[in-house]
Structure formats: C-alpha cells, structure tokens
Amino acid sequence: MSELRRDPITGRWIIVYLDKVLQPSDFKPEPHIKNKDNCSFCSGNEGLTPPEIIAHRSYGAPNTPNWTVRVVPNKFPALRIEGELNREGIGVFDMMNGVGAHEVIIDTPDHFRDMGDLTCAETEEVVWAYLARSIDLRRDNRFKYILIFKNYGKSAGASLEHPHSQLIALPIVPKRVYEEIDGAAKYYEYKERCVFCDIIRGEQEEKSRIIYDGKYFLAFCPYVSRFAYEVWILPKKHQSDFTSLERDRVPDFACALRNSLAKIKGLLKDPSYNFIIHTSPINGHEREDYHWHVEIMPKLSKVAGFEWGSGFYINPVPPDIAAQNLLSVKTEEK
C-alpha cells in the first residue's frame, strides 16, 4: 500500500511507498572518479581562476595558496554583474538583460574532501563565506534574490569535481520561491502562525524523523519528503532571512549541515546530491512570514514522465525509516 501526502506549504502531493521499501543497499550511486590533474580549484592553481573576491587565509597575498575557503567569479557565469536590466516586452514575452552575479565558493583546498568529510569548524568557514557574499550582494538594488546551492556529482549537475558551492544573485524572485512564499503567507493569514514553525513543533513532538537536534537548529527527514533520504535543516527560532543568522548560531548551523551530509554519505555510499538555501527575497520583496531553511536532496532515482506530467513525486523510502537509517551512521569528526 502507498500513501498520498500533501505539502502544507506548496500544496504539492507526493506518493510514499509503505510496502516495498527500498534498503540503502538497493541504491547504486554513481562512482565519483576524482582526478586533481590541472584542477583550477586546487591550492597552487589560483592563477587558473578569475581573481578571488574574498578568501580565508592565514598569510600570503591574494590569489596565492594557504587559504581555507576561496570565493571567485564563475568563469562561465549564467549572469554578469555589469550593465542595466533594460526591461522590455517583445510581443507577449518579457525580456531583460542577463544582469546578476554568479560566484563559486571553493569549500576547501583539498580536492578529495567533500563537505561531509570536513569538520564542523571547516564547514563553519564555508558558511561565513556564504554570509559575507550574501550581505555584500544584497546592497545592490538590482538584485531581488540570492540563491546559494551546491551540486555534488555529475547526476546532480556538477561540472567540476573539486568540492564547491555556488551563489547566484538574481534580478527577479524565482517562481519556485514565490510558490513557497505564497503558501507560507496563506497559512499565516489563516492560522496566524508560521507553517515552518509548526512543522518544527510537529517534528519535535513526533521525534521519529529527526537526525540532528542542536541548540539552535533541527535537521530531519520531512513528512512530505519528495525524495528518498531528503533532509531539511531549519533554525528553531523564526527567521526569514539567512543573512540575519546570529554569529553565535553559525557553529550549530555548520554542524547540522556537515553532520547531515556525513550521514547521507556514510549510509548511501557517497551519492550525488544537491542542497539549496531557501531564504526570503531582498530589496523590497522581504517576507517576514517566511522561514529560511536548507533542503538536501540526494540523487538516488530519476525524475521521469509521471513526475513531470503530474507534479507528484514518488518516494520509495518513508521518511521515518530514512531518518532511523541515517541516525545509525556515526558522524564523529576525524
């Protein structure tokens, strides 16, 4: 038997298999063949990237080794920071110039250590880079949304093997973001409560889907998981904007992120994945009834015709079982 479950934020329905539940060993992740020859993100090859925007290093000049995290412009950006938007209509279509920012956060100088292999302190440095670049770019009034994401593995869209994240500042608010914002706003209007805060309370009462319960952050496999072993990370305190994250709470967020990824990697034998930081829009589009969070989506199965045609997702692993399996993985720092 399967169940249909409705997402209270977007109204999206998903199908969860309850009878034939796939085991972790049933998933066959793609192999990650890592070759660091001529890798432009490795320490010592700083000249192969555009000049850095910021870097964390103990000593040395810009664009030299001895860094721990480095941020550079994307060499082949989806959007460029120069120019004006120049919005116009072309018949029934709308068009504007491809203005924005596209940056790469190089998580570590080590070619072979993904974020799940880092320590919490090393992951914290990456988070500080996310915050620094988000705070800086939001000063540009042309930008309405800042998207931070990570693609790990070819099936997740990664074109380079070296561990890295990306940031894109957009001149518009993406449609998928509006779907979440509108859903959260309708829930708040009806119940006078944040839907994400209610989800947190429900998970804390249920307890069966939580994989990390820190002082300030909660990580869990959501009841309406679209994908097997999907994990969400939310601040326990209501907060709409990622850049509002208090300094003393950054270490707990870094541990929640690192430990979640380490558990996924350990249980599922290093699968490809995406993670995305969902945050409020900026520069006149802020929404206090929203709640920023991270969504981690392992790439364990294909999205096919049924999903594209219906908007439904099929999850072969109930989230409570996924959480139990993830909890069995020890994530002590090495």
- Dmax (CA) for the chain in angstroms is 62
* Region for 54 from its dihedrals, namely left if φ exceeds 0, alpha if ψ lies in -120 to 50, beta otherwise: beta
* Interatomic CA distance for residues 86 and 309, integer angstroms: 35
Distance CA 63, CA 55 (A): 8
HEC secondary structure over 233-249: EEECCCCCCHHHCCHHH
Among the options 56, 102, 162, 164, which is catalytic? Answer: 164
Residue found by looking up tokens 């999903």 in the block: 307
Q: Residue 219 corresponds to which tokens in the numbers above?
A: 């990580």
CA distances from 180 to 15, 83, 146, 236 (A): 20, 30, 15, 18
Long-range contacts (CB closer than 8 Å, 24 or more residues apart) made by 82-86:
85/142, 85/171
Q: Is 164 a catalytic residue?
A: yes
Q: Do the strands 217-220 and 210-213 form a parallel or antiparallel pair, or are they unpaired? A: antiparallel
Q: What b/e sequence results for 263-300 when a residue is b if at least 16 CB atoms lie within 10 Å of its CB, and e otherwise?
A: bbbbbbebbbbbbbbbbbbbeeeebebbbbbbbbbbbb
Within a 10 A sphere around the Cβ of 141, how many other Cβ atoms?
A: 10
What residues are labeled active site?
A: 164
